[in-house]
Amino acid sequence: MIYVTSDQHFNHQRIIAYAKRPHRTVEEMDRDLIRRFNARVTDEDHTFIVGDFMLATKGRVRQVLSKLRGEKTLLQGNHDPDGLAKIAGLIIEFGGYTIGMVHNPESAIQGNIDFNLTGHVHILWKHCRVEGMLCINVGVDVWDYAPASLPEIIKYRERIREEQNDYSVGDGDDQSQ
């Protein structure tokens, strides 16, 4: 199975209050995020982490990554250590869809893709349109603090596809952090 997630913010105390997370301490949050990740992901699965994985040194990042099951591909986020990920964005094919992945929705991949998977916005919205392109927030704050599978995300995309009340970004309002 392929999973996608973003914005865990391991080792980041201030994110608890900012994103209204149900944890008292960063240690409790980190343990819970690891538990929820491993409850969904098996050793045979692959997870794309679309930025803001951890506020820490690369050595500490490797320690936390080693506790998470499956293969992982990290994309760079604005709160990750410089150079943690060598990938800023990518495009994959899955289930007949061409899907872009990039941390900040303001940088959504345009062109011949069906939709983008982004993070960065935490609890502001679960989906929006950026210059007409559908972006789905895969951040843990809107997916029960765990990775979402691509089939779950596609099912969500189909439910919202025809909605006319999508929040739009790109009209001069900066809704990012």
pLDDT score at 55? 85
Examine the pLDDT at 145 and tell me if it is beyond 50.
Answer: yes
Q: What is the mean pLDDT of the chain?
A: 90
Q: Could you tell me how far CA 160 lies from the centroid of its own chain?
A: 18
Where does residue 100 rank: exposed (0-12), middle (13-18), buried (19+ CB within 10 A)?
Answer: buried
Neighbours of 93 (CB within 10 A): 10
Q: Could you tell me how far CA 97 lies from the centroid of its own chain?
A: 18
- State what percent of residues in the chain have pLDDT above 90: 75
Examine the pLDDT at 169 and tell me if it is beyond 80.
Answer: no
Q: What is the pTM of this model?
A: 0.90
Examine the pLDDT at 147 and tell me if it is beyond 90.
Answer: yes
Residue 99 identity (one-letter amino acid): I
Stretch 133-154: mean pLDDT = 97
Alpha-carbon distances of 68 from 6, 65, 88, rounded to whole Å = 14, 5, 22
Confidence of residue 168 (pLDDT cuts 50, 70, 90): low
3-state secondary structure (DSSP) of residue 147:
coil
Residue in 113, 48, 38, 95 with CA at minimum distance from that of residue 76: 48
Give the integer Cα–Cα distance in Å for 166 and 147.
23
CATH number among 3.40.50.720, 3.40.50.1970, 3.60.21.10, 3.30.1330.40, domain 2-165: 3.60.21.10
Place of tokens 């309002």: 173
pLDDT score at 176? 38
pLDDT in tens, 93-138: 999 999 999 999 999 999 999 999 999 999 989 999 998 899 999 9
Examine the pLDDT at 164 and tell me if it is beyond 90.
Answer: no
Place of tokens 């951890």: 54
Give the integer Cα–Cα distance in Å for 177 and 175.
7
